Amino acid sequence: MKREGYSMARLCTRCGAQIGDDTKFCKTCGAAINQQISQQPQAWQHPPQYGQPQAWQQPPQYGQPQPPQRAPQYGQQQPPPQQPPPQQPSSQPPQYGQPYQQYQPGQASPQSPVAAPKKKRRIPLALIIPIIFVVIVGVAIGVALIVLGNTADQDFIKIGKDEVPSVKYILGETRTASSVKTSVGSGVTKKVIKYSVSENQKEEMLAYALGLTNDYGYFRLNDNDFTGPSGYGFQFAKESVEDGYLVIVTIDYDRYGYTITLSRGTGTLTVS
């Protein structure tokens, strides 16, 4: 009985085509044939089982060039398909049909409503008028205090083109001025200065009157008596540095203090 032998078919190691035993070059791809016969049978490729998930092959995007596909070599494993790069989260709101993007705490949502501007609070008119009044009064008081301080500290009080020696200059000590008023009417300029003095009012006014008459050339226009606790209307006059004008100083005093009134107007002085 003839016994049949077993022989393995020769295959090209490059393209896998069947070749003869004496063939040195593959007729299909032209590669040189190794003389050793590969006796390793090909691994059996099992078909995919039903129900097993298959890798999703993303179709090529329109307009993107695709790399050339080379035929797999015999005995080589096919590389796994390339996965698309992960998409970066977009700051734009999701379109219809797309999943909603969850925002982290502290991040501003593009869909959050814009806060309405706050309305400015207006101060009622009934409150504005008292505030303005208080400001005006405060400014007036401040200016008055400055004027009073300046007047009390002056050595000579200016009225028109003339200067009258002050209480401070004649007494040699500063006295507190409580008010200063200046007025002009009928061609006469007046400046009224009130001093707050609690004691020795008549003695100080007597010294002031003697200083006017003895040192600065003033003349008495009427009789004056500084012996009482009060005295009013004691006048002293002097010709102005400007021709045709006269300067008159009037002294009034009581137990609360004294008042010096300076008057300047047209007139002449006749001394008998």
Kind and range of the H or E run holding 266? strand 257-266
* pLDDT score of 253: 97
Q: What is the pTM of this model?
A: 0.48
* pLDDT score of 116: 67
Token pair for residue 69?
């596909």
Is 239 inside any structural domain?
yes
Token pair for residue 2?
């003839």
Instruction: Tell which phi-psi region holds residue 30, choosing left (phi > 0), alpha (psi between -120 and 50) or beta.
Output: left
* pLDDT score of 37: 45
pLDDT digits (tens, 9 = 90+) for 228-254: 999 999 999 999 999 999 999 999 999
* pLDDT score of 71: 56
* pLDDT score of 145: 47
Q: Which long-range contacts (CB under 8 A, 24 or more apart) does 208-216 make?
A: 208/167, 208/170, 208/171, 208/251, 208/260, 209/234, 209/236, 209/251, 211/165, 211/170, 212/165, 212/170, 212/236, 212/249, 215/165, 215/170, 216/165
If you write DSSP's letter for every residue of 52-93 in order, what string do you get?
A: ------PPPPTT---PPPPPPPTTPPPPPPPPPPPPPPPSSP
Is 233 inside any structural domain?
yes
Is 206 inside any structural domain?
yes
Is 241 inside any structural domain?
yes
Is 253 inside any structural domain?
yes
- Tally of domains in the chain: 1
Is 154 inside any structural domain?
yes
* pLDDT score of 123: 72
Q: Which domain holds residue 221?
A: 126-266
Q: What angle do CA 42, 47, 51 make, to 5 degrees?
A: 155
| CA nearest to 171, candidates 213, 206, 207, 215 | 207
Distance, CA of 177 to CA of 180 (rounded, Å): 7
Is 71 inside any structural domain?
no
Positions in the chain whose pLDDT score sits under 50: 1-6, 36-41, 139, 143-145
Is 145 inside any structural domain?
yes
